[in-house]
A = this chain, B = another copy of it.
């Protein structure tokens, strides 16, 4: 535990990146989510998601495999609904209202594929002026409206690279700010 605590002391509250996407994921989107989770963990980010299956599970698995930290914000009343790669489970009992907590807690979000729940999260994030990287996801249209913080991406690598333009990696920050909060 010493190493863990030492590491966190350099950068907490930890920068969280949200991953949102469909529960019934296509194989392509599952692979994209796995890779995104893996890459984010390599860059030192913890990921926050809805904690269930599909894109959420694949992203958590990828992050775990790269030694990262995973948070699941669960809709129901039972921690047992978390996928096996959720390390910290927040049990809300709020049903879909829990979507907002993911958006509020994340510095930026990556949307992968996505059903209507993903669209709701994307809408909240854009309302809060948070960067959303859309990887094969929604494109909301309204005449005369552009989305200043919505960025399309074609590959996991491009998505994470895009994200790093807005949120600096904790690993980098530690090197730059070695005495922060110590």
Residues in chain A within 8 A of chain B (CB atoms): 1-9, 12-14, 16, 41, 44, 46, 64, 67-69, 71-73, 77, 79, 82, 84, 86-97, 100-101, 104-105, 114-117, 119-120, 123-124, 126-127, 137-142, 181
Residues of B within 8 A of A96 (CB): 93, 100, 124, 127
Identical copies of this chain, number: 4
Our pick among B13, B90, B115, B124 for the contact of A87 (Cβ within 8 Å) is: B13
Residues of B within 8 A of A2 (CB): 3, 67
Our pick among B79, B88, B127, B139 for the contact of A88 (Cβ within 8 Å) is: B88
> How many angstroms from the CA of A101 to the CA of B82 in the assembled complex?
15
Interface contact B139-A142, CB-CB below 8 Å: yes
> How many angstroms from the CA of A67 to the CA of B44 in the assembled complex?
19
Task: Check A116/B105 contact, CB under 8 A, given A14-B88, A95-B93.
Answer: no
> How many angstroms from the CA of A131 to the CA of B92 in the assembled complex?
18
Interface contact B140-A119, CB-CB below 8 Å: yes
> How many angstroms from the CA of A138 to the CA of B140 in the assembled complex?
7
> How many angstroms from the CA of A115 to the CA of B140 in the assembled complex?
11
Interface contact B142-A137, CB-CB below 8 Å: yes
> How many angstroms from the CA of A68 to the CA of B5 in the assembled complex?
6
Apart from the given pairs A6-B67, A14-B87, A116-B126, 11 other A-B contacts in the complex at a CB distance below 8 Å? A1-B7, A2-B3, A3-B4, A5-B69, A8-B87, A90-B101, A90-B105, A93-B95, A93-B96, A97-B100, A139-B141
Interface contact A16-B88, CB-CB below 8 Å: yes
Residues of B within 8 A of A116 (CB): 123-124, 126-127
Our pick among B7, B64, B93, B127 for the contact of A100 (Cβ within 8 Å) is: B93
